[in-house]
Amino acid sequence: MSKNFIPPTDPKFHSIFYRRSVRQYKPEPLTEKEIQTIIQGAMRAPTAGNMMMYTILEVKDQAMKERLVKTCDNQPFIAKAPLVLIFLADIQRLYDYYAFCGVPEKCSARNIDYRTPKEADMLLASCDALIAAQNAVTTAEALGIGSCYIGDIMENLEEHRTMFNLPRWVFPITMVCFGYSKSTVPPEKRKLIPRFPQHTIHYQDHYRHMGPADFKEMYSASDEQYKNIIKENSEYDNSGQLMYFRKTGADFTKEMERSVKLAIKDWIA
Ligand SMILES: Cc1cc2nc3c(=O)[nH]c(=O)nc-3n(C[C@H](O)[C@H](O)[C@H](O)COP(=O)(O)O)c2cc1C
């Protein structure tokens, strides 16, 4: 938690201020009622124009979960998650509806171009899907159920399209694994992953570039976390270099870049 901030003690805030990602789950399945509550919580999220430009795909098949371990950068905990939801940015359903309603014919009769989905629609649908995903996470947390996002679902587009029959105007923007945590630590006693100081994230009126002192303060926790790896590894001088080579410049990020580029190309074609 931020140095000068004391989180509200009222338990109704626990799902926000004491949430942390959970990657080790008790094996028992979630009940149908719990799953329905998580999905309905997601569906209560704000959605642009109330158009719900997203689809929530529940992955029930164990073989599919095992395959997702591989296609999502080898993360074995995915296969052990009692509930796996993929949040799809989805304009396909809306455009299928427009076709059903005869919108293309109406545009043609009026001599107006029929607009097909472009980059902006992809971003807007992705906003919808991500906001719904976060509502699912917060709902689960309120039920005492842990979760973890899997951003790597944006990789390997061709394989995910085949696995889940995804049409052209549907893009898997994120995936979330859910389950009861193996840990028995109560929420308010959890060791939280620190966040950057508020002044480095919250600006007023204008954008501000960070200077050396800000960076030192921002990354003191990761400097501490990575200091032993850096000591043992002469390739890296500091945690920024380590972070770049292990994340931003890593192979999985290059695969994400390739896959997303293809998704955008097909979407706007
Ligand atoms: C868009 C997004 C993608 C993420 N992808 C992964 C992932 O693929 N694997 C994973 O273990 N955690 C993933 N996470 C979880 C983050 O690592 C986690 O939120 C971060 O380290 C902060 O920890 P906390 O959630 O416990 O506060 C992702 C989170 C987000 C928001």
* Residue 235, pLDDT score: 86
CA distances, 47 to each of 50, 56, 89, 107, 195 (Å): 5, 14, 12, 26, 27
Question: Cα of 151 to ligand 1 centre, how many Å?
Answer: 8
Question: Cα of 32 to ligand 1 centre, how many Å?
Answer: 26
Task: Point out the residues of the chain with pLDDT beneath 50.
Answer: none
* Residue 111, pLDDT score: 98
* Residue 1, pLDDT score: 52
Query: Cβ(150) to ligand 1 under 6 A?
Result: yes
3-state DSSP: the chain helix, strand, coil percent, rounded to 5?
55, 10, 35
* Residue 5, pLDDT score: 87
* Residue 221, pLDDT score: 84
1-193 has CATH 3.40.109.10 classification: yes
Query: Cβ(174) to ligand 1 under 6 A?
Result: yes
Q: What is the dihedral of CA 71, 77, 80, 86, to 10 degrees?
A: -50
* Residue 3, pLDDT score: 66
Question: Cα of 176 to ligand 1 centre, how many Å?
Answer: 10
Alpha carbons 26 and 181: distance in angstroms, whole number: 6
Alpha carbons 171 and 149: distance in angstroms, whole number: 16
Testing ligand 1's pocket by substitution, the residue of 23, 150, 201 carrying the most ligand atoms inside 8 A of its CB is 150
Tokens 């960076």 belong to residue: 215
Query: Cβ(21) to ligand 1 under 6 A?
Result: yes
pTM value is 0.96
Tokens 């889940």 belong to residue: 164
Q: What angle is formed at CA 193 by the lines to CA 71 and CA 68, rounded to 5 degrees? A: 10
Cβ atoms 90, 124 nearer than 8 A: no
Strands in 170-179's sheet, in edge-to-edge order, are 54-58, 83-90, 170-179, 146-150
Question: Cα of 106 to ligand 1 centre, how many Å?
Answer: 45
Find, among 52, 66, 257, the residue nearest to 151 by Cα: 257
Domain with CATH 3.40.109.10 in the chain: 1-193
